[in-house]
């Protein structure tokens, strides 16, 4: 038995745990890579347009902002039978108050007016259970909207579903594109995937509005897990969680790979224009 086979046998008992833990690790790496990309875009923008250039990152994410706010709006419309009503939708807004930060030399540095993401305002009845459910679902709706858009754009760009296994056994290699799939889809799909995934995470205000619903949902999940443990069905749950986590890992790897490509492009532009 060779060393590789022995290593695989040693890892096998821990494989489900590694796959599930990989979701957290890849998510953290993705957050780091996305911040690194934004820093390079901000550097390039400031060099070219000074303070106005610091807003380039927000304008690049305009499609994601629109999807983010429309996701809120659609969720609210679904609760219209329960008294929910949209009063205004704002996609972009410049804050009138500039921000000030302490620079590295101890001086106050005046930053440009920050570009606030869109906002959906609505009214709904007070004190009803469905009001809290509607608040929660509308608050986290960008997660579902962004994920749905990512799945669609991945199919539009590659011809594969996100959950397809694209490893070619015959040639022992992964297939990026489905055979005969048009290459021109790769012109827009990576950028749109970048922008919709940059804006799919609910804002702090969204999480605050959804706090009661999220806490209730976490409590239900905890009770369900306790029931599964009590019924001795935990191995089945681990198998299901491992299957879901493997697909999430693949999606996060795709996003991380795209980030690396965009970081390389942005770094090249920074070196070209900024010296």
In a domain, 117, yes or no: no
Q: What is the C-alpha separation between 87 and 124, in angstroms, rounded?
A: 10
pTM over 0.85: no
In a domain, 106, yes or no: no
In a domain, 169, yes or no: yes
For 241-256, write each residue's pLDDT tens digit.
Answer: 888 898 899 999 999 9
Domain count, the chain: 1
pLDDT computed for residue 111 by the predictor: 43
* Domain extent for 261: 18-87+126-274
pLDDT computed for residue 144 by the predictor: 94
In a domain, 223, yes or no: yes
In a domain, 119, yes or no: no
pLDDT computed for residue 38 by the predictor: 92
Distances (CA, A) of 199 to 34, 56, 69, 215: 11, 15, 10, 23
For 183-232, write each residue's pLDDT tens digit.
Answer: 888 889 999 999 999 988 888 888 888 888 899 999 998 898 888 888 87
In a domain, 203, yes or no: yes
In a domain, 92, yes or no: no
Picking from 22, 40, 62, 100, the residue whose alpha carbon sits closest to that of residue 268 is 40
Low-confidence stretches of the chain (pLDDT beneath 50): 96-113
SS3 percent helix, strand, coil of the chain, rounded to 5, is 70, 10, 20
* Contact residues for 161 (Cβ-Cβ < 8 A; gap 6+): 151, 154, 155
């Amino acid at each position: 038995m060779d060393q590789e086979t022995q290593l695989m046998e040693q890892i096998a008992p821990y494989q489900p745990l590694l796959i599930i833990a990989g979701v957290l690790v890849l998510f953290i790496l993705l957050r780091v890579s996305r911040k690194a990309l934004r820093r390079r875009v901000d550097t390039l923008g400031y060099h070219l347009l000074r303070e106005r250039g610091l807003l380039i990152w927000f304008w690049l994410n305009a499609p994601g902002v629109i999807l983010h706010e429309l996701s809120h709006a659609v969720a609210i419309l679904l609760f219209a039978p329960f008294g929910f009503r949209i009063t205004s939708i704002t996609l972009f807004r410049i804050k009138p108050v500039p921000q000030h930060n302490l620079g590295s030399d101890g001086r106050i540095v005046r930053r440009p007016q920050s570009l606030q993401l869109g906002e959906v305002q609505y009214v709904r009845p007070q004190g009803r259970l469905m009001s809290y459910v509607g608040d929660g679902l509308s608050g986290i709706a960008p997660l579902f909207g962004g994920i749905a858009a990512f799945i669609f754009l991945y199919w539009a760009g590659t011809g594969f579903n996100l959950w397809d296994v694209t490893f070619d056994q015959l040639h022992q290699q992964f297939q990026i594109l489905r055979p005969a799939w048009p290459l021109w889809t790769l012109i827009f799909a990576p950028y749109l995937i970048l922008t919709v995934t940059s804006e799919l995470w609910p804002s702090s205000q969204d999480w605050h509005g959804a706090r009661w619903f999220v806490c209730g949902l976490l409590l239900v999940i905890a009770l369900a897990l306790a029931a599964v443990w009590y019924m001795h069905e935990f191995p089945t749950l681990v198998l299901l969680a491992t299957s879901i986590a493997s697909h999430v890992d693949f999606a996060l790897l795709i996003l991380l790979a795209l980030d690396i490509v965009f970081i390389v492009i942005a770094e090249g532009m920074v070196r070209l224009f900024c010296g």
